[in-house]
Amino acid sequence: MSKQINVALIGNPNTGKTSVFNALTGLNQKVGNYPGITVEKKEGICKLPRGVKAHIIDLPGTYSLNASSLDENVVIELLLNKNDKDFPDIAVVVSDVENLKRNLLLFTQIKDLEIPTLLVINMSDRMNYKGISLDIDYLEEHLKTKIALISTRKNLGIDNLKTLIANYKDISIEPCLNASEIDKEYFDNLRKAFPNQLLYKLWLVITQDVNFGKTDRKEIDAVANFKTKSKSDLKRLQQKETIKRYQFINNVLKVGQTIDASQAKDLRSKLDRVLTHKVWGYVIFFFILLTIFQAIYDWSSIPMDFIDSSFASLSEWTKNQLPKGAFTSLLAEGIIPGLGGIVIFIPQIAFLFLFIAVLEESGYMSRVVFLMDRIMRRFGLSGKSVVPLISGTACAIPAIMATRNIESWKERLITILVTPFTTCSARLPVYLIIIALVIPDGRFFGLGYQALTLMLLYLLGFGTAIISAYILNKVLKIKSKTFFVVEMPNYKLPLFKNVALTVVEKTKSFVFGAGKIILAISIILWFLASYGPGEDFNNAENIIKTEYASQQLSNDELQQHIASYKLEHSFIGITGRAIEPAIRPLGYDWKIGIAIVSSFAAREVFVGTLATIYSVGSDEEETIKNRMAGEVNPILGGPLFTFASGVSLLLFYAFAMQCMSTLAVVKRETNTWKWPILQLVIMSGFAYIVALIAFQFLK
């Protein structure tokens, strides 16, 4: 049996840590959350030389072990707790060749914890370009470690990195410097009071709000003859520690690193002047958004049409080939159309994630965050609120989790409350099917009306989030001052492997996450639509035959009338009829009402619900889109999905809180049901009023 070792990947943000993780693990990775907290946990398996397996954890990015957010606390608590199942046998600190000085602060701190610590210097392919040369032997000797010089872009040095990880026992655990010299008397007393504990671990427990096995600050304070310091004294000592570390780092790099400034070819400042310009920056960002939404439509139309017709054919084939009965009906009318309703949107969702990944990988997303901060401040949001609002375009759940790096509780709360307004990928299937039904195919200056409508919905969601934040800022009387700091990484060509892994991982989690819910709901809906109480449902065939006896209907037409009558008097039909009076003023019928109610489980269920409802009893080999287009308004006559009802439905989904998972996360993040219930009531009420006004005005 091969041995497995734990490897912790640690580093500052934007050092290429994720690229190193992807290079080591490939597809053998999974994403989850740390137990009990909503911080993302990425882990994977890597095969090392001599049959050794490495369990690799990609820890959240951190600048130092002086934690200021929950993400950074995760790093410290793991490194302090030897009893944790993920406690590392080796810490791999990933640094960037251009920011080595800053990255080494974290490295020297981890070395003080006496864990074998390997230094990885990434982006080595940029050394010539930036005029940088390194004396690796000198650096290894003075930093008391082994160094792996790698380039994930060129796939250089990865095998050497794996060998160094496998031989982690050869790496010295001796600290680089004696940080306790900043206050010799204090640290000597600390050492005497706790002779069996590692000094730097004690120091972190005293200065940080973290857990450390059975030792906590109360116990340290209670020890006789040990004089504790005030918070301000501790803060000053932390600053002294940081200065001492940087003095050591500067001395090492004076010899170990040479930078020839005349050789550095820097395009970055020129690009930044344009991309973060107070006018052109917004114009370029707007143009990029237009291009993305146009591409989402143009590139995905062929695979979507293929998937749509394939599921319709599969459903028809199932009906014809399998013996008639409840199981065949469940497959053909429940499961297949329900799954088809989500699979059809894989191309567009994959393209959305592709563009987001490219923007992040290239370094442009940080410029967008910086650019949008100018707007955010006016509406009472922290500049850091931009990250959740932008990541909310993928999913509101991780976006709300991302608010944990906002220090001010009130600003964090406002961001949590307004983030669900941004258009997430779960709304995309609803938008796409409705836009396809009610917005014409024409173009305006080369841009399709449908792509423009989709973009307007995204901008509408973002704008509503900003205005809501402004109102909440006034209502909640926020008076806290915060500072916005964002690092501008270097521009780089996105790594194909990183982008591909992101697209696969995100699309997979979307499809499987939504797929489970849709499959379960499709089965329930099929049952509710296939069975009903009373004589109306059970004698549907006789009732319809009697009603249409005088008309010369073909067998197919008769069967359609029977199926429609049965559906109307089924359990789902009765439920839909009960809620129809409330939604009729919005231009919806009872079928749409059922889809709206069921989509509270997850917004994307809307399309799967309609696919299931419209498929029950239908023998035609017809796509879901065609069936919806053929629906007739029972009150007004004509198509059910008109421009007025379509716009009303789009606006309802743009504003409604149609996601119980998001509500659950808001509850967990705010630790009360007060805010999620307010969120549900206010957002749903606002969505209803806007949809009502839109339909009544446009009809």
Task: Extract the annotated binding site for Mg(2+).
Answer: 22-23, 25-26
Cβ distance 332 to 511 under 8 Å?
A: no
Name the β-bridge partners of 32. Answer: 41
Nearest-5° Cα angle at 685, 683 to 691: 100
- Which amino acid, one-letter code, is at 347? P
Residue with tokens 């997430």: 424
Which of 377, 420, 369, 360 lies closest to 395 in space, CA to CA?
420
Distance (Å, whole) CA 337 – CA 608: 7
Cβ distance 604 to 342 under 8 Å?
A: yes
Distance (Å, whole) CA 594 – CA 599: 8
Cβ distance 420 to 392 under 8 Å?
A: yes
Cβ distance 654 to 461 under 8 Å?
A: yes
Residue with tokens 């498929």: 615
Cβ distance 29 to 44 under 8 Å?
A: yes
- Structure token pair of residue 674: 């007060």
Q: How many helices, marked H, and strands, marked E, lie in the chain?
A: 32, 11
Determine how many CB atoms are found less than 10 A away from the CB of residue 266.
11
Residue with tokens 């879901």: 624
Which of 362, 373, 365, 356 lies closest to 425 in space, CA to CA?
356
Residue 356's φ and ψ, nearest 5 degrees, are: -60, -45
| HEC profile of 33-68 | ECCCCCCEEEEEEEECHHHCEEEEEECCCCCCCCCC
Cβ distance 97 to 122 under 8 Å?
A: yes
Which of 343, 301, 305 lies closest to 611 in space, CA to CA?
343
Cβ distance 432 to 450 under 8 Å?
A: no
Determine how many CB atoms are found less than 10 A away from the CB of residue 648.
27
Cβ distance 608 to 628 under 8 Å?
A: no
- Which amino acid, one-letter code, is at 315? S
Binding residue ranges: 11-18, 22-23, 25-26, 36-40, 58-61, 122-125
CA 142 to chain centre: 41
Cβ distance 46 to 35 under 8 Å?
A: no
CA distances from 408 to 17, 397, 403, 483, 672 (A): 28, 20, 10, 10, 18
Distance (Å, whole) CA 421 – CA 26: 35
Distance (Å, whole) CA 580 – CA 595: 12
Radius of gyration of the chain (CA): 30
Q: Is 133 helix (H, G, I), strand (E, B) or coil?
A: strand
Q: Residue 371: which H helix or E strand, with range? A: helix 364-378
Binding residue ranges for GTP: 11-18, 36-40, 58-61, 122-125
Distance (Å, whole) CA 459 – CA 233: 48
Cβ distance 484 to 373 under 8 Å?
A: yes
